Amino acid sequence: MKFFKSRTSKFLAIGAIAFGGLATTVIENGNYFEIAKNIEIFANLYKEVNTYYVDELDPSTLMKTGIDAMMESLDPYTNYISETQIEGYRFITEGKYNGIGADIRLIDGLPTIVSPYLDAPAQKAGLKAGDKIIAIDGKDTKGKTTDEVSAFLKGYPGTEVELTISRPGQDKPLKITLVRDEVSVSNVPYAGMVSGDVGYIALTTFTRDAGKNVAKALADLKTEQPNLKGVILDLRDNGGGLLAEAVNLCNVFIPRDELVVTTKGKVQEWDRSFRTQSPANDPQVPVIVLINKGSASASEIVSGTIQDLDRGVLLGQRSYGKGLVQNTRDIGYNAKVKLTTAKYYIPSGRCIQAVEYEDGKPVDIADAKRAKFKTRNGRTVLDGGGVAPDVLLDHDANSNILQTLEEKNVVFKYVTEWMLRNPEVKTLEDFHFTAWDDFVAFLNKQNYDFDTETEKLLKDLKEKSTKGGYLTAADLQALETKVMAAKKADIEKHKERITDMIEKEIVSRFFYEKGRIQVGLRNDVEIKEAVKLLGDKARYDAILKG
C-alpha cells in the first residue's frame, strides 16, 4: 500500500500544479468550475486505470490516446505534436528536415519507397521507387505505420541508418547503409514556357520563401519571353503552409497595401489583417490559377484573393475548403499543440471554411446554402466549402476509377513491374507510353483487385442478401458481371487520363518531380484550356468583368 499511496500523492501533486497554472486562464474564460471539475475527473480516471487495470500500461501511450481523441472531436487540423513528430512539423513549415530524403507510403503492409528525392541520401545510396523497407537497423517494419517508420529514419545529419530492402526482381534482401543529412525540398519544382508566349509556374507547398521563389520564376519567364502574354500558376494539390507566404505570393501580382486576409477568433487581441507590403512584381500580366479538390488553406487564400480582387481567372475544380488558422503552442517536454485559433476571411469578406465533415473530409455544400459576396468588379462569389473556379473543368466528375487506381497504388505497382522489362528512358521529350494492352493484361492478372464505390455497395448487398435471402446466387452473379463490364468500359473510357498517369509515374523514376511535371504538361487538359483562354483576351476580360 505504501507504493500506491506514494504514487497517488505524486500524481495528485502534479495535478495540483497543473490546476494552479490553469486557474488564471479558466477564470478569464468564466468556466473555472466546469473546467476544474472535468480535469479532476479525468485525472482521477487516469490514476485508477493506470493503477488497477489488469495489464501493465504505458502511461504515455494511454495519455496520448486520450489527447488524440480529444483533438479529433474538434476539427481535422487541431493536433498534438509529440517530441518525435517535431521533424515532420519542421518539414511542413520550412520545407526541410533531417533524414534520408524519400517519399514513403505503406503499400501491401510494408513501407515502400515511392520517390527518392534528387541528390538526397536515399537517391545517393541507390534506393529506388518500389523498394520495400523490411527492416531498419535490424528492426522489423511489418505492422509499423508510416509515422513510426519516419521517426526511425529521421535523425541528426552525419548519423547512419541501415535499411534492409526487398527489391522487385531480386530474390535476396539488400542491406543499404545511408548517412542522414538535411533534406531540402523545393517548393517550385518547375517553371517554364508552355507555349510561345505563355509561362507556367508550379508551386507545391507554401513553405519558406514560396513568394520569393514564385517571383524569381516569373522574372526568369519574362527574361526568356519579354512579350509574355500570361502566366499559369498551378496550385493543384497544394495543401497550403505558411500564411505569411500566401500574402507574399499575392504580392507578386497584387500592388502594395491591398488587403489579402483577415483572421478572427475567440481571442480578439489576436485578430489581424494582412496586407501586401511591397510593390507588385507584375500587377498587369494576365494570370490563370489552377485549383482542384486538393488545393487547401494558403492555396485558397491566394486563389480566393486573386478572384475577389478580379486580378486573375481561376480554372479547374472547387478547392478543398479549409478556412481555419492554426497556431502552435509549446506544452512542455519538447511537445507542441497545433490548434485552430481563428478563421480567415478574404477581401470580399467571405470565409471558405467547410462547415460539414465526414471521415475527416469536407462535405460538398449546395450553392443555395452558401452566403453570397461580391468581388471588386461586382461578380457574385460564395462562402463556405472552398473556392469555386471561374471556369469549371471537371473531366473526372462522373467516375471514381482514377481515384481508385491511385488510392490502391495500381499504377505505381504496374510501373514497378514495367521497369523490370524497361530499365531505361533516354529522353523525357521523346518518351510515350504505348503498351496499353500490357496494362490491361496487368489489371486482368490482378483480377481488378480494387474496389470502386459500386463494388463496395455490391459487397454489402451480398452480405445482407445472404442473411435475408431475397436475392439468389444467380442474381448476385449477374450484378457482379455487370459491374465488372462497366468497370472495364470505364477503364477504356479514361484511357487517355490513365496513360498520362502511367507516363508521369515512369518518367518520375528517371527524372524525378521535375520530369513528372514536364511530361504531365503535354497531356494536361487544364493547361491546354488555360493557354487557350490566355490567347483570347476578350473572353479573359469578360470573365473578370462578370
Residue positions counted in the chain: 546
CB 375 within 8 A of CB 381: yes
Q: What are phi and psi of 374, to 5 degrees?
A: -125, 140
**Which of these, 398, 403, 369, lies nearest to 385 by C-alpha position?**
369
Cell of 226: 519579354
In this model, does residue 20 exceed pLDDT 70? Answer: no
CB 85 within 8 A of CB 145: no
Domain ranges of the chain: 2-57, 96-184, 190-394, 401-450+494-525
Helix (H) or strand (E) holding 443: helix 436-445
In this model, does residue 226 exceed pLDDT 70? Answer: yes
pLDDT of amino acid 398: 58
- Mean pLDDT of the chain, nearest integer: 86
Domains 96-184 and 190-394 share a fold: no
CA 241/CA 473 separation, integer angstroms? 52
Q: pLDDT over 70 for what percent of the chain?
A: 87
* Span 188-223, pLDDT tens digits: 999 999 999 999 999 999 999 999 999 999 999 999
- The residue that leads in pLDDT, 37 or 433, is 433
Cell of 284: 498587369
Supply the residues annotated as catalytic.
297, 308, 322
* Span 129-159, pLDDT tens digits: 999 999 999 999 998 888 788 888 988 889 9
The reported pTM is 0.80
* Span 345-356, pLDDT tens digits: 999 999 988 877
Q: Please give the full DSSP string across 362-407, using - where no structure is assigned.
A: EPP--GGGSPEEE-TT--EEE-SSSPPPSEE--TTTT--HHHHHHH
Q: Which amino acid is at 150?
A: S
Sequence-distant (6+) residues with CB within 8 A of 394 are: 316, 317
Quick one: fold of 96-184?
Answer: Pdz3 Domain (2.30.42)
pLDDT of amino acid 23: 44
CATH of 190-394, one of 3.30.930.10, 2.60.120.10, 3.40.1030.10, 3.90.226.10: 3.90.226.10
CB 265 within 8 A of CB 320: no
Q: What are phi and psi of 286, to 5 degrees?
A: -60, 140
**Ramachandran assignment for 297, one of left (phi > 0), alpha (psi -120 to 50 degrees), beta (any other):** left
pLDDT of amino acid 456: 72
CA distances from 518 to 8, 201, 504, 514, 524 (A): 63, 11, 9, 6, 10
